[in-house]
Amino acid sequence: MSEKKDTIVNKVLCATLDGLKARAIEVEATFTKGLPGFAVVGLASSDIQESKERVKSALLTNNFIFPPLKITINLSPSDIKKNGTHFDLSIALLIAIHKQAIDEEGLFVFGELGLDGKVKSSSMLFPLILSLKEQGLIKRAIVPSEAIEYLNHISGVSFIAIESLTESIKLVESGEFADSTKSFTHSSQHFEIENQTYLYEEIYESDFADVKGQGVAKRASLIAASGMHNFMMEGNPGCGKSMIAKRVKDILPPLYEEEILSIAKHQFLDGTVPDFSAIRPMRSPHHTATTASIFGGGSAQAKIGEVALAHKGILFFDELPHFSKNILEALREPLQDRKVHIARVNAKIEYDADIMFVAAMNPCPCGNLLSKTKSCRCSEMEIKRYQNRLSDPFLDRIDIFVVMQEVKKEDRGDVTSVQMHKQVISAFKRQKMRAQEHLNGKLTELEVERYCILESEAMKILESAIERFGLSHRSIASIKKIARTIADLNANEKIAKKDILEALSYRRRN
């Protein structure tokens, strides 16, 4: 005769990161007769295997007596490698409530345990839960109280905040889960278009009024910011290239909730706690930075790099030709596809990298080639070698080129960051009122045809420029996108003759 089955197989949900995508993991527990033991199976990494000691200590210090049974914890599906200390709480709960069935379906449990039973947070929680929410896999989760401050920014998920293992055990035993779903906290400055809320900050760390002269460069930076166009400045040392680049950050377009959360996710992956403000990031690595630090890398587990950390913001390369050729050529992919791909033996990871690339360079190694007052000390060979570090395919991905003017004593600051930001927001609203998913600088080929409509005179000028300068397909699309942004700044529904002429003035001279 077969014995009556009285073993309860309890399970709760947790998750692990597979690249940047969260995978839901079922944490199961069984208690069987046999030599007492405690095993975790299912491709658990060393930090999960170590959790056995943390779980034991946390339970024993909270008056729990381990049953004289063989405890098996299974992490399913078993073919995915799991890692992270946030599995501690789910494992401890299943052991503590082994005699009672857990009826709550779809309950996620996250938390690292201290030896005294205190539930701690982990830097992986935010990326995990955000990814689960984006996939529609999570509605309710038990999380550490210390994480609730930043987890509450994820709207549509009910979080049950707990301080200790004892508190979580009582909660699950009672089965009474309070609903605490929050909505995303709005910035002080926001507006709505087509039921979408856009957020921005009026914080200006430095002002364009400090930049003397350079009217063309300031106009170009306004256009670049309005459409998130890639932008390059060439000029003598001290003419204001870096000053302009640092001020562009403060006048960038507004963000919506998902963009702010995606920026925060990348910051968590880098080990920093974000402030969830509607300020786009700016990263400016030094030209001696390694390829791995720029794009991300690592042998066992790929780490996030500067390009991905600039997602939805600015990646600024000062002294552009001094960056290694490998880095400059590898940058072509994220500038084109807005993603970074990292391939390793152990992992293949894809990071979002929707960036505005800003670059500054001198015209020659000594910097004085364009100067009217200083003589250039470089030979023709040195100048050619210096300029040849930038390939045509790389330069073809930069939309706006500006040659800086020499500073004159009568130059004054004629426009403020506040004024420029208002123009950017006005142009942004026009783009969104057309129901554009992407800003002008990031339009796809199909979107260029749909949104970049030229008046007849403007079309004739563009056709003449194509024939005269032998413009490539990418260059034509780039000019149309710049002209579309200029038209938005000029409040023109279609791209006019004046708009296309100005756009052509920013093209690269061969």
Amino acid at 411: D
Spatial strand order in the sheet of 255-256: 189-193, 196-200, 255-256
- How far is Cα 501 from Cα 503, in angstroms, rounded to an integer? 5
Residues 141/160, Cβ–Cβ less than 8 Å:
yes
Q: Give which of 383, 387, 427, 332 is closest to 508, Cα–Cα.
A: 387
Rounded Cα distance between 417 and 209, Å, is 7
Handedness of CA 35, 39, 43, 49 (dihedral sign): negative
Beta strands in 201-311 (DSSP E): 231-234, 255-256, 282-283
Q: Quick one: tokens of 257?
A: 């909730």
271-279 CB contacts, 8 Å cutoff, 24+ apart: 271/123, 273/150, 274/150, 276/150, 276/153, 276/185, 277/187, 277/201, 278/187, 278/189, 278/190, 278/199, 278/200, 278/201, 278/254, 279/201, 279/203, 279/249
Q: Which two tokens stand for residue 58?
A: 């946390």
Contact 41, 78 (CB under 8 A): yes
Q: What is the DSSP letter of 404?
A: P
Give yes or no for a contact between 28 and 63, defined as CB atoms under 8 angstroms apart. no
Helix residue ranges per DSSP H, 378-455: 380-387, 392-395, 417-433, 445-451
Residue 3 pLDDT: 44
For position 332, what pLDDT does the model report? 94
Q: What is the DSSP string of 150-191?
A: HHTTSTT-EEEEESBHHHHHHHHHHT--------PPPPSEEE
Give CA–CA dist 90/265, Å, rounded. Answer: 23
Nearest Cα residue to 226 out of 495, 482, 474: 482
- 3-state SS assignment for residue 437: coil
> Which residue type does 472 have?
S
Please list the residue range(s) of the chain that carry CATH number 3.30.230.10. 10-174
Tokens read off for 179? 């609903």
SS3 content of the chain, % helix, strand, coil (to 5): 40, 20, 40
Class of domain 10-174 as given by CATH: alpha beta
**Number of helical H runs and strand E runs in the chain:** 20, 19
- SS3 state of residue 447: helix
The residue behind tokens 């279609």 is 494
Using alpha carbons, select from 395, 366, 400, 399 the residue that is nearest to residue 383.
366
Angle between helices 417-433 and 473-489 (to 10 degrees): 110
Instruction: Enter the pTM of the model.
Output: 0.91
Burial class (CB in 10 A: 0-12, 13-18, 19+), 402: buried
Q: Going by CATH, does the domain composed of 443-510 fall within 3.40.50.720? A: no
Residue entry with tokens 């060393």: 46
User: How high is the pLDDT of residue 299?
Assistant: 56
Instruction: State whether CATH 3.40.50.300 applies to domain 192-426.
Output: yes
Phi, psi of 178 (to 5 degrees): -70, 140
Q: What is the pLDDT of residue 273?
A: 87
Separation CA 408–CA 372 (nearest Å) = 11
Q: How far is CA 33 from the centre of its chain?
A: 50
Of 483, 485, 431, 491, residue with least CA distance to 461: 483
Q: Where in the chain is the domain with CATH 1.10.8.60?
A: 443-510
Q: Give which of 309, 311, 280 is closest to 198, Cα–Cα.
A: 280
**Residue ranges in 356-412 assigned as alpha helix (H):** 380-387, 392-395
Q: Are 90 and 109 in contact (CB under 8 A)?
A: yes
* CA dihedral of residues 143, 149, 152, 157 (deg, nearest 10): 0
Residues of the chain with CATH 3.40.50.300: 192-426
Pick out the chain residues at pLDDT < 50.
1-5
In a 13 Å sphere around the CA of 173, the CA atoms on its Cβ side amount to 12
